[in-house]
């Protein structure tokens, strides 16, 4: 793997860091999923966001948002995970779909709403990245095996160099976290740590 990361032509993609996934009162917790494994991604994401702002690397947040009646959920909601309707996972306009108080997008940072795992599927993400001349995507957030991995598979197919940040991503089950990083590292991305990304960007954080 020869891919080198710098801050040039690079964007940070923060995937689905929303109350519904991260908060003990959120939908995932209500469904009995181990939300703490998702919340574990938060400190790493916060450090990456802080560093990106310092290095002038654009930060883009994705946000999983469904219509209140889940009419846009498709087969994944209707047939595979209908239980998320009962708890109102990431319904538009609700607290569940919102970002946590302590990691809200700053003025000028882009938010991409999506209703499928991939952040590229029927969203404006590609149209934001191309005009900026972005070639490298540093990807963090949740969940590792589902939305992060689907987004990374898509990014690489679209010829972005993808860098997945191991300690800034989380999955509800340890085995799916481990194998997802292995899968992405096999063919789709370079796997890095937060500190390696900061070094690549030449950024030091005072609270590191």
Partner 1 sequence: MPEARDVGPLGRERTALLIIDMQNSYIDEKGALGRMKRNWQSLREALPGCERLLAGARKAGIKVIHAKYVFQPDYSDGGVLIREIRPALKEFGLCQAGTWDAEIVPSLTPIAGEQVVEKNRPSAFYSTQLESFLRAARIENVVVCGVTTNMCVESTVRDASQRDFRTYVVGDACGEMEQDRHDAALVSMGFLFARVVGVNDVLDAWDVALANA
Tell me the window of 51-59, 62-70, 104-112, 157-165 that interacts with partner 1 (CB under 8 A): 157-165
Q: Looking only at residues 53 through 92 of this chain, which bind partner 1 when binding is defined by CB under 8 A? A: 74-76, 79-81
Give the C-alpha distances (Å, rounded to integers) separating 65 from 21, 85, 97, 108, 169.
Answer: 12, 12, 6, 20, 20
- Give the DSSP letter of residue 41: T
Q: Minimum CB separation from partner 1 for residue 72, in Å? A: 10
Is there binding between residue 195 and partner 1 (CB under 8 A)? Answer: no
Is there binding between residue 200 and partner 1 (CB under 8 A)? Answer: no
Is there binding between residue 24 and partner 1 (CB under 8 A)? Answer: no
| Tokens read off for 108 | 């000028």
Tell me the window of 29-37, 124-132, 178-186, 200-208 that interacts with partner 1 (CB under 8 A): 178-186
Residue for token pair 């919102």: 98
Is there binding between residue 188 and partner 1 (CB under 8 A)? Answer: yes
- Give the DSSP letter of residue 78: I
Active-site residue, from 16, 23, 96, 167: 16
Is there binding between residue 139 and partner 1 (CB under 8 A)? Answer: no
Residues 6+ apart with CB under 8 A from 76: 116, 117
Instruction: List, as one string, the DSSP characters of 94-148.
Output: SGGGSPPGGGPPPTT-EEEEESSSSSSTTSSHHHHHTTTT--EEEEEEE-IIIII
Nearer of residues 50 and 63 to partner 1, judged by Cβ: 63
Check if 175 is active-site: no
Check if 45 is active-site: no
Is there binding between residue 123 and partner 1 (CB under 8 A)? Answer: no
175 class by beta-carbon count within 10 Å (0-12 exposed, 13-18 middle, 19+ buried)? exposed
Q: Minimum CB separation from partner 1 for residue 54, in Å? A: 27
Q: Minimum CB separation from partner 1 for residue 87, in Å? A: 16
Active-site residue, from 42, 45, 96, 114: 114
Q: Give start and end residues of each alpha helix (H) in the chain.
A: 19-22, 27-30, 35-39, 42-55, 74-75, 83-87, 125-129, 149-157, 174-183, 194-200
What is the contact surface with partner 1 in residues (CB under 8 A)? Answer: 1-3, 74-76, 79-81, 116-118, 121, 145-146, 149-150, 153-154, 156-161, 175-176, 179-180, 182-183, 186-188
Which residues does the annotation mark as catalytic? 16, 114, 147
């Amino acid at each position: 793997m020869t891919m080198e990361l710098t801050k040039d032509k690079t964007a940070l993609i923060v995937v689905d860091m929303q109350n519904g996934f991260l908060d003990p009162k959120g939908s995932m917790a209500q469904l009995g999923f181990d939300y703490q494994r998702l919340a574990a991604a938060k400190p790493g994401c916060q450090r990456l966001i802080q560093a990106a702002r310092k290095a002038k690397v654009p930060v883009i947040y994705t946000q999983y948002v469904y219509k209140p009646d889940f009419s846009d959920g498709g087969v994944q909601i209707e047939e595979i995970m209908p239980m998320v309707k009962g708890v109102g996972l990431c319904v538009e306009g609700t607290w569940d779909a919102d970002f946590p108080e302590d990691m809200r997008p700053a003025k000028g940072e882009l938010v991409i709403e999506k209703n499928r795992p991939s952040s590229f599927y029927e969203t404006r993400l590609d149209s934001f990245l191309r005009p900026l001349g972005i070639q490298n995507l540093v990807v963090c957030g949740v969940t590792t095996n589902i939305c992060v991995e689907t987004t990374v598979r898509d990014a690489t197919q679209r010829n972005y160099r993808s860098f997945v940040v191991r300690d800034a991503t989380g999955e509800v089950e340890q085995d799916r976290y481990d194998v997802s990083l292995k899968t992405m590292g096999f063919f789709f991305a370079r796997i890095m740590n937060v500190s390696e990304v900061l070094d690549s960007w030449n950024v030091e954080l005072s609270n590191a």
